[in-house]
Structure 1
């Protein structure tokens, strides 16, 4: 297969899409405006589950379940290939004082997921650092988190081992090279790059890029801020989530607390207000964090999309143009399935799940209407 594919964007979706396509033998060029893996994929928390999986459509659920089952294998494969461990860390997840607990339990029964209500005494025994004042809890075993910066490093390293892959960083894509209704490459700050196929995996920037073709893709940046604490390795044995905020333990004792959801365009400057709000949340959840140093505070831009359903597949009426973008809050969660599905479609293989809910076609036209 001598075809060249250009992948625009080197976040988790772009890198893993490129890896899946390159493994099949094609030539792949990844073009990234900044440094690979330095935007939303780096900034997220890395919980391998939507925050409230029962509140999503079956389309998101299908991708999430496939990815959750695949993540341990992906972590092992990348560690073996690159000697970089993405640290897929199964801790389980406690949701505290859910307003829609009945819906959550009904969803779990329907989908066969191990979510159950547990007495608070059991939660406090399992998570001694948990603060007082919480009245109800549900727990799902087996939920993992992935150390996303390490995952991105491992994906980059795996790609660099392949002779049929080029990664070009610090090279913004400004538009597309077209011949009639066909996309035959991209325009970049380093000149034109020709290809048989172009995959847009540019996260929050995907909408702006497609606008250069007159296409309206409803993907826009949604800012999220996080803080990172350093604690003892056994301080938090499980992830906890209350009032839309969460604490995630890493194996070495780092604790991430997030996150805000702000509609402020492409501004990703961390703010003092968010820092104070996240600290307050952190101390409510885990009072001992009042004395823990904040190691880092940062912001990223999620690719917001209606209902959080990503766009995966070929663009009708524009030959050669493919999308894998608009994952909103769940790019890391949905990446393995999204990238496998895209590769299946591009390589004419039997798709892992029904591709129809993600097809850009009618959804792009609706956005234009």
Structure 2
């Protein structure tokens, strides 16, 4: 078994990869170009479901189902060991006025998921702050959201408590070290860092790093902007989604509204145009937010990939190099399954699900 693993990228995918590998290898080193978890993991909404799960391939569905079932115990385990609660908050989710409602219901029946049509009057009874004019609704019970900044803090604390894990922040990776056709480490501004295995989990920056090896990874940054309101703790009892925008209630009354989809390279600057658009969507969905102060407005970069199917597994032609990246809008949703699958493959264990759809082989340029 490998003695030392270097994980490149300290978002939720990288942190949870390291957490899963720590029990089976001698040493895990996490390197991040900034502070761990401060990119898309920090910026996302944290809904523990793809926004429209029926629109994704079976590959995404398989990861999502495994992760959704696992999240509550992950939250409890991290809270118990660190005292930092990731706040896995089960509220259920309403979809309003979908164009593809029939497709959604057919998917739910096929996948045996608890998604059903509900009378709109029942929705207004359950969510009285909902805006007027909606006519149809679907509801899935049991859908949770996780408070992603707290999940990151909890994961980091859990890792720092492990004697065989080290976290190197502000550690810029400048390339890979090769020897006899194998990847044996990474190059950093402070010198080379040796490894038996290297796992690339650098989100939207993964493609940039793979170019050092002459490989083209179809992962690109896709900007998303969000806003945050503060309301009474009981203002919004459930997550709601309409016209491509969603509102997520946190336990303390914060309401997160998102998000935009923008192809703007690596620019993370929040814009007034997006702020106005998000405010308008928020008030359309929940009129009680009109006039409520926006306590935060931020942007993050999602690792956009074809059809949102992540790359998980060994890189052909470069023994010792593994990918766990390209989760697009579903990094938080898919993290538990993705990171367990990567650990299974690296350890030579029986994989939790069929790894073939995620294999980098045949998918890199």
Deviation digits for residues 168-207 of structure 1 (CA, Å, limit 9, x no counterpart): 0001101101113211100111211010110000000000
Q: Does 1:273 align with 2:264?
A: no
Cα separation, 2, equivalents of 1:177 and 1:244: 43
SS at match of 2:363: helix
Cα separation, 2, equivalents of 1:291 and 1:237: 20
Cα separation, 2, equivalents of 1:174 and 1:25: 25
What does residue 299 of structure 2 align with? 299
The number of equivalent residue pairs is 365
What does residue 351 of structure 2 align with? 351
Cα separation, 1, equivalents of 2:255 and 2:23: 35
Matches for 1:31-180 after TM superposition, within 5 Å = 31-180=31-180
- The root-mean-square deviation of aligned C-alpha atoms, in Å, is 0.7
SS at match of 1:291: coil
Cα separation, 1, equivalents of 2:7 and 2:222: 23
Displacement of 1:291 in angstroms is 2.1
Residues 2 and 197 of structure 2 are in contact (CA less than 8 Å); yes or no, is this contact kept in structure 1? no
Cα separation, 1, equivalents of 2:111 and 2:181: 42
Cα separation, 2, equivalents of 1:237 and 1:352: 34
SS at match of 2:330: helix
Cα separation, 2, equivalents of 1:219 and 1:57: 18
SS at match of 1:279: helix
What does residue 16 of structure 1 align with? 16
Unaligned runs of 5+ in 1: none
SS at match of 1:360: coil
What does residue 324 of structure 1 align with? 324
Normalising by structure 2, report the TM-score: 0.99
Displacement of 1:26 in angstroms is 2.8
Cα separation, 2, equivalents of 1:186 and 1:359: 22
Displacement of 1:135 in angstroms is 0.8
What does residue 196 of structure 2 align with? 196
Displacement of 1:2 in angstroms is 5.8
Residues 34 and 170 of structure 2 are in contact (CA less than 8 Å); yes or no, is this contact kept in structure 1? yes
After the TM superposition, which segments of 4 or more aligned residues of structure 1 sit over 3 Å from their partners?
Answer: none
Cα separation, 1, equivalents of 2:131 and 2:89: 23
What does residue 28 of structure 2 align with? 28
Cα separation, 2, equivalents of 1:363 and 1:100: 30
Cα separation, 2, equivalents of 1:327 and 1:152: 17
SS at match of 2:213: coil
Residues 3 and 25 of structure 2 are in contact (CA less than 8 Å); yes or no, is this contact kept in structure 1? no
Deviation digits for residues 304-325 of structure 1 (CA, Å, limit 9, x no counterpart): 0000000000011101000000
Normalising by structure 1, report the TM-score: 0.98
Deviation digits for residues 285-311 of structure 1 (CA, Å, limit 9, x no counterpart): 000101211000000000000000000
